[in-house]
Amino acid sequence: MEEKMVGISTLAKLKSIKALVVGDLFLDQYIHGKATRISPEAPVLVHQIDEESCFPGGAGNVAINLAHLDAAVTLVARTGSDLFGDLIRERLIREGVNTELILTQKEYKTPRKTRILSDGKQLLRIDDEKIVPSLDEMTETILSTVEQLEWDVILLSDYGKGFLTDDLIQAIINLGKRKNIKVLVDPKGLDFTKYRGAYLIKPNEKEAYLASKLDATAQINEVARVLMGDLDIEKLVITRSSKGIALFSMEQKRADFCIEKREVVDVTGAGDTVFAIIALSLANRVDLSEALELANFVASMTLEVVGCAAVTMNNIAQKLFHLNRYEKVISSKESLWFLRKLATENPVKFMKIDEMNLEYLFKMIELLKSSPEAVYVIYLNSKVNKNWIDVLLSLNGVGFILTQEEDLLYLLKELANYSNLFTLQV
C-alpha cells in the first residue's frame, strides 16, 4: 500500500494553544537490564538491573505531549504526599507543564506502574495502586479555579484511578458548553454515560464494544450508532490497533485511517499522543480528518522507542523530511513553517535552475550526495520544462520546488539567517 503524504499545510496551522488537561496521574517506572539465567530458588528468571527511569504517566503524559507541541498546558490532577508525587511534579515542571492545580490528597498513595525490561523487551509489569475517589472539597477547588480561566480546549484523561468522579466529569463538560470550549475524553470503564455531552470521545475498540453492550460479532458501525445515540456526542474516534482509526460523526458518517506500518518497540503512550494531536488540531480549527492523518503518523514515531515518548514539531518535520513524506510543490508561506523547523538542525540551501537536462540532473545528484544533511529548495525558471518536477521530487534532499520567482524572493527574505542561494551550473 502506498504511504500517504502528510500535509505541511495542516502542520502550519497548528499554533500554540491554552489547554486544560484533567485526569489520573501516576508514575511510569522502567527498569532496564538483562535476564540471562534461571534462579536457583524457583523456576523464574533472574533480572540484572542496568538502569532505571521514571516518567509521569496517564494525564501527565498527555500534558507533556501537548507541551512538546508548543501548547501552554495546565494539568489538574492529584498525587499522594510521597516521593512518587514529588518526582512527577518535578518532571512535569521540567517539561513545561503548569502544575499549580495538581492537588495533594492525604492518605492517598501516588500510583506506580513498574515495567521490567530485558534487552528492550518487556518481561513484566507491576502495578502498585489503590482506587480511591477524590474528595468533594477537591472537586469544588478545581471547579472554582478553572471557571475563572480561559482555555482553547479541555481534555479529560480517565485511567479509572478514582480522580475523575462522575460529578467532576459532568461539571467540566457543562463548563465547556457554557464557555463554548470543546471537551474531549479518553474514556475508561464499562459505563460511558458519565461522559454524556462531551464533544468527542476516543475509546479503543475493546472499550467501545464493552460500553455499547453489544456482542463481539456486531459491526463497528452498530457500536458507533449505539454509543453516539446514548451519549449525545458529536464525534467518536475508535482506535483499532493494527486496523487503524475509525472516525464517526453525528451524521453517522464514517472515515477510516490506516495505521502507519513501523517496527513496534513499545505501545506505551501512543494513545496519549493521538489524543494530544487531536486536541491541538481541533483548538486550531483543523478538520478532524486532517488531524487523524497527522495523529496516525506522529503516533507511529512514538512506537519506535521504549516508554512514553513526547514528539516535538521539530521531530515531526525532521521525520517527514527524511522519509520524503510530504508535498513539495506548495506555496511559500506553507513551506516557510516547515523550513524554519528543519533549519534548527539542517542547513537550508536555495538552488536556482535556469535550464535542465540530464547533465544538469547528474550534477544535482552529486550535490545532494555531497551534502546529505542539507535541505535544498529548488527554483525552476519558467523556461524549464515542468515535466522535470516529477524527476526532482523523487530525489532525497530536495525540500521544496518553487515555480514562482516571488516565492523564491519571499523565502530568501524570511530565512535570511539560515540560507544561501546559488545557480546550478555544469
Could you give the residue numbers annotated as active site?
272
C-alpha cell at 247: 472516525
36 class by beta-carbon count within 10 Å (0-12 exposed, 13-18 middle, 19+ buried): exposed
> What's the farthest any 2 CA atoms get from each other in the chain?
80
CA distances from 287 to 73, 103, 278 (A): 22, 35, 10
Instruction: Say if residues 299 and 270 touch (Cβ distance below 8 Å).
Output: yes
Alpha helix ranges (H) inside 47-102: 59-68, 83-94
Strands of 99-243 (E only): list them: 102-104, 112-118, 121-128, 153-157, 183-186, 200-201, 235-239
The Cα–Cα gap between 397 and 394 comes to 9
* Block residue for cell numbers 521525520: 319
Tell me the three cell numbers of residue 21.
488537561
Residue 62 CA to residue 25 CA, distance in Å, equals 10
Measured distance CA(278)–CA(185) in Å, rounded = 11
